Each structure stands twice: as structure tokens, then as C-alpha cells.
Chain A
Amino acid sequence: MSNLAYNDNMDHMMSDAENFEDGNRGLHYEENLLWEKGHSDTPGVDLPSLKGTKSRTGQSERKNVGLPQVSEPQVMRHFVRLSTKNYSIDSGFFPLGSCTMKHNPRLNEKMARLKGFASIHPMQPTQTVQGALKVMYDLQNWLAELTGLPAVCLTPAAGAHGELAGIMTIRKAHEVQGNTHKDVILVPDSAHGTNPATAVMCGFKTRTISTKETGRVSVEAFKEALYKQDPEGKDVAGMMVTNPNTCGLFERDIQEITDLLHDAGGYFYCDGANFNALVGKIRPGDFGVDVMHINLHKTFSTPHGGGGPGSGPICVAPSLQDYMPSPVVLKEGTAYRLEEEGERETSCGRLRGFQGQFGMHVRALSYMMSHGADGLKQVSEDAVLNANYILSQLKDDYHAPFEGPCMHECLFTDKYQKEYDVTTLDIAKTLIEYGMHPMTVYFPLVVSGAMLVEPTETESKDALDRFISVMKMIAKKARSGDVTELHNYPKSTPRHRLDEVKAAREPKLRWKKGA
């Protein structure tokens, strides 16, 4: 259980200087927890002295909190050392399927940090924040034009929150229209886990559409799901479909499926995680989508930040506009303002404090303006080209379960490698050993041992060729039968394979003194 560097070996080191070993070698650093550093006399900030004013809190004063205390240089070194244990898009190829790990321009960061954006309060008088409201209004318009869905609400805080916003919009529409019998949402088995989780959070039942045969929603499978309980599909409130889907394929029967759904009175929610394949070239509103969320942190390059903050605006067709969450930004003459609480009576309401992840709105707009109409079209074309190139180069070495061409990501499985006792997990961990982030693994669930590769448009041909070479080398090693190495990678990383079972069985979620 102990940290090699700082517990066991400290004692060892003291007693036996000749065999000094604390885990630090070259640029590899061991770094303990802040609490293990010893308590400094003074903190890493100098604050103005207190006057000793008598407390007016009406309560006793806080006793020991238990926080560590170290100086500023120690804090800086601690976090810089931690940073060296992370892989990032800035340092290398990051083909994580359905996550769109593209280059994050620093201009966006600079813009979001302008005093006039970073240091304004969400409840300031409207006349003092016209520029901020203009950013949001412009972003609403850019997203409306790019999706072909004219109404936009920017408040959702992440993709999953956008899904919640979208399905709540559909729920509200049915409620207002008296369609309380509509209590089913259709979800393909290839969908992100957030889709069914969201539908259930909104009080719907989910019904699964099978896509196992072709990786796509077929008209037959869709009809089977739509008419399962009722010959006219009256119980179906809507469907949640990712398009392009999580197998990297465009749903080629989408028009017919959407027409059938609309005839049954259902709405089409499109999960926008894969919008990078379409942006600037194809508008989801033009293939029947009624509401979709956009991941600003994917398609529009606001950084992923190690797991957030994201931003998940929703774009909505006119038929659902009255029901989407509030507030949105309105323009009256030359003045901008936020919608008032309750101004749109049929809105499904507020989903977050204030008006959204505004800092991400600034970054996304900065990115969109940089690319423009011409650049964004090139983005999707290059993203699709890059994925198809990888597919073409690797399909002989790795099993590609569905017929292509693919969109901005391509799907493989470990079917061929399994014969040699090499799995998707081994392939992923070997990629790590060779200095690359793995693709998305074991997702989608419709195939066994999935590997979903999304290169994005911000990779050069050289970078793709290097990935292809490493993947071919792994396939060759597997075929050679000498696979022990592949089972034990990675070896050159700060940590080797971690025991996730132990973490879950004996949850230890915080540091504790003496524990």
C-alpha cells in the first residue's frame, strides 16, 4: 500500500546510503501527497494583517481543518511534477474515439482571460455586460447556422447535461401537448451510456434498437422497436441517436427512420458528440433532427482539462423552441438581455445556476471565428479523411467489423489478435508503452473488444503513419506468438498497470492521518 519513494524506502535510504533509491531517476519523479510534505511555518500566500474585529457570525470559530501547509515554491514544484505524469494532446497523438481530442489553440485561453470576460459577475446590471451577452448571442447564431436548428440555449454545462436539457425539452413538449401516454425513448444499443441514463432521469422508459448486424440502425430494426407495443408507435416520445454513430458510421437510413418517428409523433434527439464529422458541411437540421447538444469541448476545441469543464449547448428546431431551458440571450434593437425567469411560460426551466459555462462560450467563439465557414468545412473533411486513411491501412491487420467508409472515426476489434491471446487491453497498454494515448477501448458495446480510433483533423500524415506503424508492429508481435511483453506493458510509465479491483473493493477516497 505504501508509496515506494516516501515510506518504506525513506528508512531504507537513511540506513544504507550506498543503495540509495527513492524512485527518482532522470526526468522521472516520485511525488508524495501534499500532506506528506511536513508543515511549513507560513503558507504560500501573504495576506493583509487582521484587525481583530469581534466576530459577528453568531457561531464559534472554526477549529482545525486539517489542510496541509507549504510554501509557494513547494506548491509549484508539487504540481509541475504531477503534470509530468500526464499524457496530453499537446505532447502526442490522442486518438480517443468519440472524444475529439484536437489541438486546443491558446488564443482561446487568452480571450477567455480578458478582464472584461473573466472578471464580470453573472448578476451585474444588463447595461454593464452588453459585450458578454453579445458573445453568447453570436455563439447562439453560429451554432444555429452550423446545425440548421435555429433556436439555441447555451446553459448546459457538459454533454450529458445537454442531453438532459434536450430530453427535458421533449418531455415538456409532450406534457404541454397532452401526450402523457408517450413514455418510451428509443435508444440504439451502440449509444453512449449517458443516453439511456438521461432518458431514465427524465422519467422515460428506454427501448433498445439492435444494431449488431450492420453497426447501423436498420429500418426493419427501427420499425420493430417503434411498433413493439403499439401499432402506430403512440407510446414513443422520441429517439436518441448519435449520428454519425459510435461505430463511426453515418446512419444511411436516417431520413426514412426520422419520417417514421415523426409520423408516430416522436422527436429526434441527436447526440452531438460526433459533430466533428459534419461541421460546416452537413447540417443535422436538414436530416430531420429536432434537438441536439453540441460538445463545445470536442468539436469547438475548448480544452478537456483532464475531465472538464465542458459545455453542452442545445440546438433546437422551431417545433421545440418554446420548451427548451432558460435563459437564452435575446436581442432587442441594439441591446442584448437574458430572458427573465418564467418569461417563456412553457420552458422546461433552469438547469444550472446563472447562464452557463461562459468561459467556454468565449473559447468556442474564438475558435469558430478563427476557422470561419471555409475552415470548419475543411475541419470535417480532414477529420473524415484521416480516419478513412487509418481504416484503409489497418483493416488487413485488425478486424473492421462493419463495412465502410467511416466518418471521423473508425472501429476495429481484437478478433484477429485474440487468437494469439492478445486483447484490446493489451493493445491499448502497448500503445502507451510506445508513447501514444490509446483509442477508446471496449466501446461501443455492440462488438466484442472494440477499439474506436478518432484521429481528428489536427494530425499530420506523418503522425498518422507513425500510429499505423506501431499498430502494425503490435499485430505482428501478436502473430509471432511471443506475447508476454504485450501482457505486461506499459513499463516506461510512472506507474504500471493499476489494480482497479482493489480500488473498488477497498475504497480509499482520501488521505487520512495515520491511515
Chain B
Amino acid sequence: MRYLPQTKKGRSEMLEAIDVSSVDALYSDVPKSAFVKGKVNLPDHMGELEVERMLGAYANENHAAPDGPFFLGAGTYYHHVPASVDHIIQRSEFLTAYTPYQPEIAQGTLQAIYEFQTMVAQVTGQDVANSSLYDGATAMAEAALMAMRVTRRKKVVLGNKTHPHYEDVLKSYFENFRGEATIEGPQDIDDQTACVIIQSPDFYGSPENYQIWREKCDAVGALLVVVTNEILSLGLLPAPEEADIVCGEAQSIGLPMSFGGPHLGFFACREKYIRQMPGRLCGETVDASGRRGFVLTLNTREQHIRREKATSNICTNQGLCALAFTVHMALLGEDGFKHLAKLNHEKACELSDTLENAGFKVENETFFNEFVVELPKNSNEIVSTLAEKGIIAGLALEDNKLLVSATEMTAQEDIQTFCETLKEVCA
């Protein structure tokens, strides 16, 4: 009961002040049948030590990335997080603050969001960015919905291979339209297309040429949406300046993999569309003394003002994750961000060379830090066999293929061990 400061004395004084005999008298509106008899059927309270022991044992049952060679990516990447990042996001003033509704006492959060928005806009080559969304998959779905609002059309084209989870989320959201909105392939681009969505690098790791897609979109008046789930790739690949919306996943900067969440959806677009954007936005203004300050703004798009006419039902962002990104990006800086991106690419080149030297065929002609390798056997079984040997090999795809990724965390020895063991189990 260490989290409860009330005392017996305090409780009884308060009951007296309220003029009731017991706490239960305060629940007089609740139907009798809804009360739990006694207590719920769960264990009683535990001390900190007991909780640590129990959850610690759970954690130890998992194979963590630092425990062995690790090559899995597919939308979540194993990167280094500088110690300062975790320190900053654990400061009480950031960790235990609310959404900055009272700007006079939330300038810290607000300025950090403004810096986040600026960084995302710069990295994506767009005019403006929002304060973040839940994750890459929901960001892509929100981009499709926004394109439909802008164009007043209801067809969305997936131009290339996007992450299967992203595609599934889009499908789930689209079921709400009861058949009125459709998802189509690149052969179906026409004058009813709201947007063409291109993932780059695509799910198999190959970077896209945006110019071709821009032309296709311009021919029919559709928006071009570029999705990336490895934001670090934008430190090496050209900015998707051709796009109308750039969104995706930014977990790679500042956040652990954490079994898939919390991650960091980002969303940037052209200035002319800001009033159609989903999510929270922070803007610059002045205070009553004329000094620069920041506030949440353009709220008239949002659910708490517009209710059923809102652009989206979203009311939070991934605040602390966006802060982690901002701190990590501040540490990386212009040179560090590009350097880290190149380092990832070099590691992937090294992995590709070593695999090819070991006799495996790499499918990609081009890649950033992830690519597909062909195996002579069922890749699901191989992933499972390697896991038993302490190696997290990658993502098994259909047709004996394996999606592998390398980052700055990948040591030369890891690559050697992986390729040798892979050769053994494939023999």
C-alpha cells in the first residue's frame, strides 16, 4: 500500500467532514449487484522486491538482442540509444506531465515538440510535421484518410510492397467505410485515386524512385504518400521532396524495440494541407509580455472542439517517445545523423558480401540496411533452428526467403557467426 498517502485518521476526519458514515455511502448510486463481494479474485499487494523477482523472472525467459547475433528488422530496428536520452525522458518534469493544455507551465514540453516538428519536417523534406502519431502503421492509415479528405475521393493505391501490418491496419480502418472506400494496386491508378502510397525502402529493403510515382500521381490529380519505417534511411537517401505526405515509423531514433511498442509514428506534409492534418500541432506565438512562447494550436481540427466533425479521433501523441527522438537527434546532429545512416549501410553491405561469399544469393540490387536473401531450405525452420543456437536470424518470408537487417549494433563477429551457422544448417 506504499502508493497511498491517506491515513486512517485522515480518512475518518474526511468522512466526518462530508457527513457520511462510510465510504460505501458515497457509492449509493451504484446498483448493489455491481459490487464485488469482498475482493476481486486476484493476489493481494506485493512489495517492490517481490514484483522485481517475479517480473525479472519473466524477462529472463526472453532472448534479448544483446544475448547473441541479431539480424531482425522488418519495421522495428535494433539501434543504440545514448545514455543521455533515457536520462532526459525519465526526468519527472517530462515523464509525469500531462498533455500541455496549460502552456504557461508546459513550455518545456511545448518547445521540445516544436523542435521535434522542425526535425521531422527537415528530415522528410516537407514543410510541416505534427507532434507524432501512435506508430508507423496508424500513421499510414491516417495519411490515406487525409488524402481522401483533401481529394474527396475514396480509392487508395498501394504502389509497392508495404509492411504487411501497415497494409492490414489500412484494411481494418477501411472496413469502416463499408465498401465505399477501396484499396487497389498500382495498375489501378485513375482519376478516382485519392493517393498512391509508396514505402521506401520497400518492405524488402529496396529504396524507391519517387519521380516516377510523382508523375503518375500528377497525371490523375492524386496525392503521393511516402511511407518509411526506417527513418534513419533518410540520412543517406534523398529526401522525398516529391511527396505530398511523408509518414512512418521513427522508433530507430531514441527508442528500444520493446516488443513492438511504444514506438513513434511521424507525419509530415505540405503546408497547404495543415488544416486537414491529424494529430496535435504545436505552434509559436507570444505571451502577454511579448516574449516568444509555444502553444498547441489549430485545435479546430480536433475532436474536443469539433466532436463528430473532427479530422480524426486522436487526442494524444506519443509525447515521451517524440522527446526521446528529439534528444537523440540533437545528440546526433547534422553530421552524426548522416554518419549513422552511412554506418548502417556499410554494415548491411558487409553482411551482404559475407552472405554471398558463403554461397547465398542476395536478391536486392539496392538496399539501405535491410535486404532479402534466398535460402535452399524452408526459412521458417531455419529461423527456428538458429534461434535455438542463440541467433535471431531475420524474418522468414515465403519461398524460402529471409529478410535480414544490419545496424550499427551488428559486430563483425556476429556476421561471421551468422553466416557460418547458416551455411551449416543449410547444408
Contacts and interface: CB of A to CB of B under 8 A. Distances in A.
Given A118-B258, A120-B257, 4 more contacts: A123-B72, A157-B135, A375-B1, A437-B98
A39 B336 CA distance: 13
A372 B51 CA distance: 11
A292 B112 CA distance: 33
Nearest to A497: B288
B59 A45 contact: no
A260 to B, nearest CB: 15
Given A101-B98, A304-B99, A372-B42, A123 B62 contact: no
Nearest to A118: B256
B122 interface: yes
A226 interface: no
A43 B336 contact: yes
A145 B42 contact: yes
B334 A111 contact: no
A40 interface: yes
11 contacts: A33-B115, A43-B336, A57-B366, A82-B111, A119-B65, A350-B171, A352-B135, A370-B45, A497-B104, A509-B117, A509-B282
Contacts of B58: 116-117, 131-132, 134-135
A194 B418 CA distance: 49
B330 A70 contact: yes
Interface string A187-222: 000001110111111110010000000000000000
Contact of A309 (B176, B262, B330): B262
Contact of B51 (A305, A350, A366, A493): A366
Interface string B281-293: 1111111111111
Interface string B74-115: 111010001010111111111111111111111111011011
A78 B115 CA distance: 12
A460 B338 contact: no
Interface residues of B, number: 208
Contact of A125 (B95, B102, B346, B383): B383
Contacts of A79: 88, 91, 112, 323, 327, 330
A80 B88 contact: yes
B399 interface: no
Contact of B284 (A180, A352, A508): A508
B295 interface: yes
Interface in A283-310: 283-284, 286-287, 301, 303-310
A359 B258 contact: yes
A495 B46 contact: no
A68 interface: yes
Given A80-B88, A309-B261, A58 B59 contact: no
A57 B346 CA distance: 11
Interface in A69-124: 69-70, 72, 75-76, 78-80, 82-91, 94, 96, 99, 101-105, 107, 109-124
Interface string B107-146: 1110110110111011100011101101111100000000
A424 interface: no
B400 interface: no
B185 interface: no
A83 B108 CA distance: 5
A384 interface: yes
A348 B168 CA distance: 11
Interface stretch (A11-19, A160-168, A261-269, A478-486): A160-168
Contacts of A301: 3
A449 to B, nearest CB: 16
B100 A306 contact: yes
A25 interface: no
Nearest to B130: A509
A409 interface: no
B299 A358 contact: no
A114 to B, nearest CB: 4
Interface stretch (B152-160, B186-194, B214-222, B300-308): B300-308
Interface in A44-59: 44-45, 47-48, 50-51, 53, 55-59
A499 B290 CA distance: 9
Interface string B304-344: 11111110111111111101000101111111111111110
Contacts of A249: 29
A27 interface: no
Interface stretch (A230-238, A250-258, A313-321, A412-420): A250-258
Interface string A438-475: 10000100000000000001111101000000000000
A350 B112 CA distance: 32
A83 B331 contact: no
A160 B135 CA distance: 14
B261 A355 contact: yes
Contacts of A360: 261-262
A382 B1 CA distance: 12
Given A45-B332, A122-B76, A366-B51, A157 B289 contact: no
Nearest to A157: B134
Contacts of A105: 3
Nearest to A40: B333
Interface string B33-64: 11110011111111010111011111111111
B262 A119 contact: no
B401 interface: no
A513 to B, nearest CB: 10
A68 B333 contact: yes
A459 B5 contact: yes
Which of B6, B20, B34, B164 has the most CB atoms of chain A within a 10 A radius of its CB? B34
A158 B316 contact: yes
Interface residues of A, number: 209
B4 A379 contact: yes
B315 to A, nearest CB: 5
Contact of B97 (A159, A161, A304): A304
B168 A350 contact: yes
B3 to A, nearest CB: 6
Contacts of B107: 82, 85-86, 494-495
Closest 7 CB pairs of A and B: A354-B260, A116-B59, A122-B260, A131-B61, A305-B320, A69-B333, A58-B366
B26 interface: yes
Interface in A326-383: 341, 348-360, 362, 365-366, 368-379, 381-382
B6 A281 contact: no
A287 B343 contact: no
A105 B127 CA distance: 40
A325 B168 CA distance: 11
A158 to B, nearest CB: 5
B295 A498 contact: yes
Given A90-B92, A116-B61, A358-B260, A124 B72 contact: yes
Contacts of A498: 103-104, 285-288, 293-295
Which of B33, B292, B304, B384 has the most CB atoms of chain A within a 10 A radius of its CB? B292
Contact of A168 (B60, B63, B123, B172): B172
A371 B45 contact: yes
Given A309-B321, A381-B23, A281 B35 contact: yes
Interface in A169-185: 171-172, 175, 180
B367 interface: yes
B175 to A, nearest CB: 7
A94 B101 CA distance: 12
Contact of A107 (B34, B48, B78): B48
Given A72-B84, A118-B258, A504 B300 contact: yes
Interface string B346-362: 10011010000000000
